[in-house]
């Protein structure tokens, strides 16, 4: 039987201003199982990024239930959600979101420094070096992010997302700021991670990359309108070069 | 072009009213305070006195010495002064005599009390006193002429004669003598303050009508002044030496018959009018100026921060103008014109603040500073304010222009305005915060030091009766000369008894000036020996005379021995009550205080100690030995009364009672003890209020400035902090991160301020302000500013840490 990593039920998100209310999500029901590679597609403004933010506890739902590994997380304090985000969620952003002032090593080590139970420097070093090796960036450990190419920066971002051994990776348009070669390389890396057992949930509007997921969700006006399983997802090397 | 820039600047500022108002008010108020303090300092220190040949005017002050040791300060033998006045001296163009007093006018309604000045004609001539009406005293109205003429002050003319031009040749009456008014001083006449800074003479009359006793070489009073004018080109030191030789040639022979001053000598020294008039006020005003400068610097840091933040906001407008061909100097002019408008408005506000402060200073709200009568907004100050404003304006415009990266500004437009052509660097931000913290801590340490001392004096128990007690100073008019001392004693006791029967008075006693009274510090220090003879070990002490009821009503608390009897007061019995301070000194000499004998210098008549009372703790008076002697004072008696609760004595009702005893006995001062204490504590009260207000303004200004810098830093770091939060940083972790960075400029500034204060402390340890400092004076401000930094960090980071990470990442 498949083990669920997260379960959402009737989740809504409403943004209010003085003039109007915007319903970004309108009753999302979703379960992601361990080892899944889920892609979320849809047109601009359909609620993809909002859903990803709520999945990663970057934002709170207006209503509905949300559980990560069986624990209800829809009503947590900011500090509690920070700890869960730190231990169970790894983020990969479109714009990499590396901190320019920190070296590659320190960027990757950062999640471990926010652990509830502090880790020793030795443990941190081991974990960071392992992750940098995994993305083939060990030789750049002492560099600053602005000394790296976009593809290299995204690999560092992947290493940072992996270093805390999260239950799932949430990926937001990972290739949006990359050329096609680097984009494909990053996607190949993500697919490899999924093949090794990492749960992935990725927002993209590029159908080529969405096809690489084992499950595709289609969002429109804040609702999941379609869910499609791929028993034989495409592989990165099968994708034709971007036009 | 200038007109165009002005129009743009006005329109631009109209859109940011709160920004413009904050700068105008912050700069206006602090600049106004600083300019007012400049004006005050200029007036006190630099401005010439309003008298011709001011450097040649001097006051003679003296000392009484025995065996080279100073026995009494301010010792000017009365007869010596008069004889010196009459004689001619090399290097001295002229001498003048001056004797201040307070007297009751007997012909005007309500018998007003006037400050009087008995003078020789030269007194007003050497300062060329301006008159509104009439004339100065003439040579024919000089010493020994006995011409009853008077000059009244402008205020008396307006208040009591309605400003009538027919005031001349009307009269004022003192002690039964009618003085014909021959002159009225001009409104702008600034009287040279020779006695006490608050002294203003109401009526002058010829020196023959002084109320001090007949001149003696052994009598000295701080009411008597000998002033003079040096001859042109005379050397002040040589002239002083010649006058001392003159005194020393006369003094020993003049006092040969008085054993109390055997083997003593007197020394006279010249004090220029300027140094006498300014006194210590220069130090006080410089301190006030320093405080205002620090306040202005804090405000400038704030304004600098606001202006830089605005430059960041204007980046897109700059970029568009640069794209249209504006050169760096065009952008600088835009900034300069906008700042000039703000500074011009601030200057107008500052002018109002200066007028307000000068008014408050003249009204005495900052205590008895020197030359306040002459204080006004002068051309010098106006020029200073304009130049200072221009310098600050250009300096700030230059600082802002240094932050404008022209190339980046152009680039900003090319990259859809997402660049950062104008950005306040971390270094600049830290400098701004460090400056504010440095100035604020330094100012607060000084303020806390002064406040602690002032507050301690304000709240210290005095050990006297302050509740429901009053002091009634009596004037005996012509009785002073018409009656013998014994006759007056009977009348004074009768008057006191009448007051005792007043329905609102519980008890009353009569004596001399109490240890604290309405009058200036009156008590000379006396020296008593514990053995008869000459040059024996002495105990220095201050002396008060009175009856038992007087001392008990005043609040002396007997701790040992007995009190005087009424008979002892009437008979002036040779007994004395001493305070505990003196008792300890007597004990230290190996004697029991009760029963100990005190002797005057070279006297064999003992005065026996019969009681010991608690020490007093009076404002502005050091702990000192005090003696209390029994006697009915008849010259200038003061009746101390205890009233029923919530009763206010009226001068009229008391005068009515006194008139039943004798028509010449009248009240010339009536104040509650609380009022008297309050007036003596005025400078402490002013210091407390001033330091609190200054500290609050400094902390608020620094707080606003630091908040501006921290908020700006948070805005710059918002995205980075969002990233940290997205990977699991808790709000607490983010707060700690920001706090750690914000504490750096605080620690640097705190260390710098501490170093500066320590250098000041060790290099000027004897300065009064340095002596007030202790570890709390430093710790309280540092802790306060540290708390402020923590609080402002929390406030500035609040918008980030109180919301989910997404908001920081998105910036909405």
B-chain residues near A57 (CB < 8 A): 804-805
What is the tens place of the pLDDT at every residue in B159-176?
999 999 899 989 999 988
What is the tens place of the pLDDT at every residue in B278-323?
877 777 788 888 888 988 988 888 888 788 878 777 776 776 776 6
B812 or A89, which is more confident: A89
B522 or A47, which is more confident: A47
Nearest CA in chain B to A78: B804
DSSP B529-563: ESSSBSS--EEEEEEEEE-HHHHHHHT--EEEE-P
Return all residues near B7 (Cβ < 8 A) that are at least 6 apart: none
What is the tens place of the pLDDT at every residue in B539-551?
888 899 999 999 9
Contact with chain A for residue B730, Cβ under 8 A = yes
| Chain B closest-CA separation from residue A86 CA (Å) | 4
* Residue among A59, A101, A164 minimizing CB distance to B804: A59
Confidence check: pLDDT of B3 > 90:
no
Interface contact A114-B732, CB threshold 8 A = no
Decide the pairing of beta strands B92-104 and B113-119: antiparallel
At residue B37, the pLDDT reads 92
Mean pLDDT, rounded, for B265-287 = 84
Using CB atoms within 10 A of its CB, is residue B553 exposed (0-12), middle (13-18) or buried (19+)?
buried
Range with the lowest mean pLDDT among A175-184, B321-330, B489-498, B729-738?
A: B321-330
pTM: 0.74
Residues 710-729 of B with CB under 8 A from A: 720, 723-729
Q: Which of B727, B733, B800 to mutate to test the interface with A (most CBs of A within 10 A)?
A: B727
Specify the 3-state DSSP secondary structure of B103.
Answer: strand
Contact with chain A for residue B737, Cβ under 8 A = no
| Chain B closest-CA separation from residue A239 CA (Å) | 31
Confidence check: pLDDT of A1 > 70:
no
At residue B468, the pLDDT reads 93
Return all residues near B660 (Cβ < 8 A) that are at least 6 apart: B498
* Residue among A57, A87, A114 minimizing CB distance to B729: A114
B627 with B582: CB under 8 angstroms? yes
At residue B125, the pLDDT reads 95
Interface contact B729-A99, CB threshold 8 A = no
Interface contact B730-A82, CB threshold 8 A = yes
Nearest CA in chain B to A108: B727
At residue B366, the pLDDT reads 67
What is the tens place of the pLDDT at every residue in A228-237?
776 666 665 5
Q: Which of B719, B721, B724, B726 to mutate to test the interface with A (most CBs of A within 10 A)?
A: B726
Confidence check: pLDDT of A241 > 50:
no
Mean pLDDT, rounded, for B451-469 = 91
B273 with B192: CB under 8 angstroms? yes
Nearest CA in chain B to A83: B728
At residue A62, the pLDDT reads 92
B412 or B185, which is more confident: B185
Q: Where are the domains of chain A?
A: 4-17+27-229
Mean pLDDT is highest, among A60-64, B189-193, B438-442, for A60-64
At residue B524, the pLDDT reads 64
Decide the pairing of beta strands B264-272 and B607-613: unpaired
Reported ipTM: the value is 0.83
Range with the lowest mean pLDDT among B714-723, B730-739, B746-755?
A: B714-723
Confidence check: pLDDT of A239 > 70:
no
Interface contact B727-A81, CB threshold 8 A = no
Decide the pairing of beta strands B264-272 and B203-206: unpaired
Nearest CA in chain B to A16: B812
Average pLDDT, chain B: 87
Angle between helices B281-313 and B315-323 (to 10 degrees): 60
Contact with chain A for residue B497, Cβ under 8 A = no
3-class SS letters over B53-98: CHHHEEEEEEEEEECCEEEECCCCCHHHHHHHHHCCCCCEEEEEEE
* Residue among A60, A86, A101 minimizing CB distance to B727: A86
Contact with chain A for residue B802, Cβ under 8 A = yes
CA A144 to chain centre: 23
Report the number of secondary-structure helices (H) and strands (E) in chain A. 7, 10
pLDDT confidence bin for A112, thresholds 50/70/90: very high
At residue B526, the pLDDT reads 80
Mean pLDDT, rounded, for B385-402 = 88
Q: How far apart are CA B804 and CA A78, in angstroms?
A: 6
Decide the pairing of beta strands A89-92 and A168-172: parallel
| Chain A closest-CA separation from residue B326 CA (Å) | 32
| Chain B closest-CA separation from residue A230 CA (Å) | 30
Confidence check: pLDDT of B198 > 80:
no
Confidence check: pLDDT of B397 > 50:
yes
Query: E strands within A102-234?
Result: 168-172, 199-203, 215-220, 223-229
| Chain B closest-CA separation from residue A139 CA (Å) | 24
Interface contact B724-A110, CB threshold 8 A = yes
At residue B401, the pLDDT reads 77
DSSP B127-172: TT--EEEE----GGGSTT----EEEE-HHHHHHHHTT-GGGTT-EE
At residue B120, the pLDDT reads 96
Return the CATH architecture of domain A4-17+27-229.
Answer: 3-Layer(aba) Sandwich (3.40)
At residue B477, the pLDDT reads 78
Which stretches of chain A sit within 8 Å of chain B by CB? 53, 56-60, 78-79, 81-83, 85-87, 91, 93, 97-99, 101, 110-111, 114-115, 160, 164
Interface contact A114-B731, CB threshold 8 A = no
Q: How far apart are CA B452 and CA B449, in angstroms?
A: 5
Interface contact A82-B809, CB threshold 8 A = no
Mean pLDDT, rounded, for B66-86 = 86
Specify the 3-state DSSP secondary structure of B628.
Answer: strand
pLDDT confidence bin for B603, thresholds 50/70/90: confident
| Chain B closest-CA separation from residue A15 CA (Å) | 11
Can you give the length of chain B in residues?
812
Tokens representing A193 are 């991670």
A-chain residues near B720 (CB < 8 A): 99, 101
Interface contact B730-A114, CB threshold 8 A = yes
What is the tens place of the pLDDT at every residue in B88-146?
999 999 999 999 888 888 888 878 889 999 999 999 999 999 999 999 999 999 999 99
At residue B411, the pLDDT reads 56
pLDDT confidence bin for B705, thresholds 50/70/90: confident
Interface contact A56-B733, CB threshold 8 A = no
* Residue among A78, A85, A97 minimizing CB distance to B723: A97
Specify the 3-state DSSP secondary structure of B27.
Answer: helix
What is the tens place of the pLDDT at every residue in B745-791?
999 999 999 898 888 878 776 666 667 778 888 899 999 999 999 99
Number of A to B CB contacts under 8 A, please give it.
Answer: 67
Q: How far apart are CA B684 and CA A75, in angstroms?
A: 58
């Amino acid at each position: 039987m498949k083990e669920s990593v997260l379960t959402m039920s009737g989740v809504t998100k409403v943004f209010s201003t003085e003039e109007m209310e915007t319903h970004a999500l309108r009753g999302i029901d979703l379960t992601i199982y361990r080892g899944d590679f889920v892609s979320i597609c849809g047109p601009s403004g359909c609620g993809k990024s909002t859903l990803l933010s709520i999945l990663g506890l970057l934002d709170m739902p207006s209503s509905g239930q949300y559980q990560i590994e069986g624990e209800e997380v829809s009503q947590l304090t900011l500090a509690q959600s920070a700890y869960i985000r730190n231990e169970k969620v790894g983020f990969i952003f479109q714009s990499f979101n590396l901190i320019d002032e920190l070296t590659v090593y320190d960027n990757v080590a950062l999640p471990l420094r926010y652990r509830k139970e502090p880790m020793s420097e030795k443990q941190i070093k081991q974990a960071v070096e392992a992750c940098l090796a995994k993305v083939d960036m060990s030789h750049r450990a002492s560099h600053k992010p602005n000394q790296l190419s976009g593809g290299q920066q995204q690999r560092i971002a992947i290493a940072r997302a992996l270093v805390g051994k999260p239950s799932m990776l949430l990926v937001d348009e990972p290739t949006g700021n990359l050329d096609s070669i680097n984009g494909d390389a990053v996607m190949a890396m993500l697919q490899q991670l999924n093949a090794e057992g990492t749960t992935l949930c990725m927002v993209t509007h590029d159908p080529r990359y969405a096809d690489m997921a084992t499950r595709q969700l289609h969002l429109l006006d804040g609702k999941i309108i379609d869910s499609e399983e791929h028993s034989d997802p495409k592989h990165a090397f099968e994708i034709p070069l971007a036009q | 072009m200038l007109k165009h820039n002005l129009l743009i600047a006005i329109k631009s500022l109209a859109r940011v009213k709160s920004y413009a108002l904050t700068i105008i008010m912050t700069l206006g108020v602090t600049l106004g305070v600083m300019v007012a303090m400049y004006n005050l300092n200029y007036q006190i220190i630099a401005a010439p006195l309003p008298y011709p040949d001011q450097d040649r005017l001097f006051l003679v002050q003296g000392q009484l010495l025995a065996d080279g040791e100073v026995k009494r300060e301010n010792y000017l033998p009365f007869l010596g002064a008069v004889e010196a006045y009459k004689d001619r001296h090399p290097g001295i163009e002229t001498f003048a005599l001056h004797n201040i007093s307070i007297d009751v006018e007997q012909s005007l309604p309500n018998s007003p009390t006037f400050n009087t000045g008995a003078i020789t004609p030269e007194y007003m001539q050497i300062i060329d006193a301006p008159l509104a009406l009439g004339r100065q005293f003439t040579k024919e109205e000089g010493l020994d002429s006995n011409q009853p003429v008077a000059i009244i002050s402008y205020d008396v003319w307006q208040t009591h004669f309605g400003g009538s031009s027919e005031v001349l040749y009307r009269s004022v009456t003192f002690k039964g003598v009618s003085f014909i008014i021959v002159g009225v001083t001009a409104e702008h006449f600034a009287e040279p303050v020779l006695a006490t800074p608050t002294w203003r003479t109401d009526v002058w009359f010829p020196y023959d009508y002084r109320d001090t006793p007949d001149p003696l070489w052994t009598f000295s009073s701080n009411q008597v002044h000998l002033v003079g004018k040096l001859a042109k080109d005379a050397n002040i030191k040589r002239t002083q030496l010649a006058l001392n030789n003159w005194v020393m040639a006369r003094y020993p022979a003049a006092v040969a018959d008085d054993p109390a001053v055997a083997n003593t000598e007197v020394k006279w020294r010249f004090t220029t009018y300027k140094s006498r008039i300014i006194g210590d006020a220069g130090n006080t005003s410089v301190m006030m100026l320093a405080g205002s400068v620090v306040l202005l610097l804090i405000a400038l840091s704030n304004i600098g921060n606001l202006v830089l933040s605005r430059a960041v906001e204007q980046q897109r407008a700059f970029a568009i103008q640069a794209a249209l061909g504006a050169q760096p100097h065009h952008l600088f002019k835009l900034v300069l014109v906008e700042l000039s408008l703000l500074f011009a408005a601030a200057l107008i506000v500052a002018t109002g603040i200066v007028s307000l402060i000068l008014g408050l200073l003249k009204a005495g709200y900052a205590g008895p500073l020197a030359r306040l009568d002459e204080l006004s907004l002068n051309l010098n100050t106006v020029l200073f304010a304009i130049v200072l404003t221009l310098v600050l304006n250009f300096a700030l415009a230059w600082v802002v222009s240094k932050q404008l990266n022209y190339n980046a500004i152009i680039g900003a437009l090319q990259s859809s305005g997402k660049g950062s052509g104008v950005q306040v660097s971390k270094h600049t931000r830290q400098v701004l915060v460090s400056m504010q913290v440095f100035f604020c801590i330094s100012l607060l340490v000084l303020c806390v030091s002064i406040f602690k001392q002032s507050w301690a004096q304000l709240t210290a128990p005095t050990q006297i009766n302050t509740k429901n007690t009053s002091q009634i100073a009596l004037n005996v008019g012509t009785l002073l000369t018409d009656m013998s001392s014994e006759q007056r004693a009977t009348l004074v006791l009768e008057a006191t008894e009448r007051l005792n029967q007043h329905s609102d008075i519980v008890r009353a006693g009569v004596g001399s000036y109490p240890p604290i009274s309405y009058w200036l510090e009156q008590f000379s220090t006396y020296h008593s020996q514990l053995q008869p003879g000459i040059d024996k070990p002495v105990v220095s002490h201050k002396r008060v005379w009175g009856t038992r009821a007087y001392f008990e009503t005043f609040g002396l608390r007997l701790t040992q021995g007995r009190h005087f009897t009424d008979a002892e007061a009437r008979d002036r019995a040779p007994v004395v009550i001493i305070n505990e301070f003196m008792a300890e000194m007597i004990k230290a000499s190996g004697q029991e205080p009760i029963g100990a004998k005190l002797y005057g210098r070279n006297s064999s008549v003992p005065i026996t100690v019969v009681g010991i009372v608690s020490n007093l703790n009076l404002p502005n008076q050091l702990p000192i030995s005090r003696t209390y002697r029994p006697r009915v004072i008849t010259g200038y008696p003061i009746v101390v009364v205890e009233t029923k609760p919530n009763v206010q004595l009226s001068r009229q009702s008391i005068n009515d009672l006194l008139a039943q005893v004798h028509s010449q006995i009248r009240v010339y001062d009536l104040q509650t003890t609380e009022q008297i204490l309050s007036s003596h504590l005025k400078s402490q009260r002013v210091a407390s209020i001033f330091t609190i207000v200054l500290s609050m303004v400094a902390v608020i200004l620094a707080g606003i400035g630091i908040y501006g810098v921290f908020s700006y830093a948070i805005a710059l770091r918002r995205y980075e902090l969002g990233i940290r939060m997205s990977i699991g940083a808790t709000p607490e972790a983010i707060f700690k991160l920001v706090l750690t960075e914000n504490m750096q400029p605080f620690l640097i500034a705190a260390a710098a301020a501490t170093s500066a204060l320590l250098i000041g402390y060790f290099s000027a340890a004897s300065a009064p302000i340095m002596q007030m400092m202790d570890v709390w004076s430093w710790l309280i401000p540092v802790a306060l500013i540290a708390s402020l930094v923590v609080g402002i960090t929390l406030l500035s980071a609040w918008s980030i840490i109180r919301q989910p990470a997404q908001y920081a990442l998105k910036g909405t």
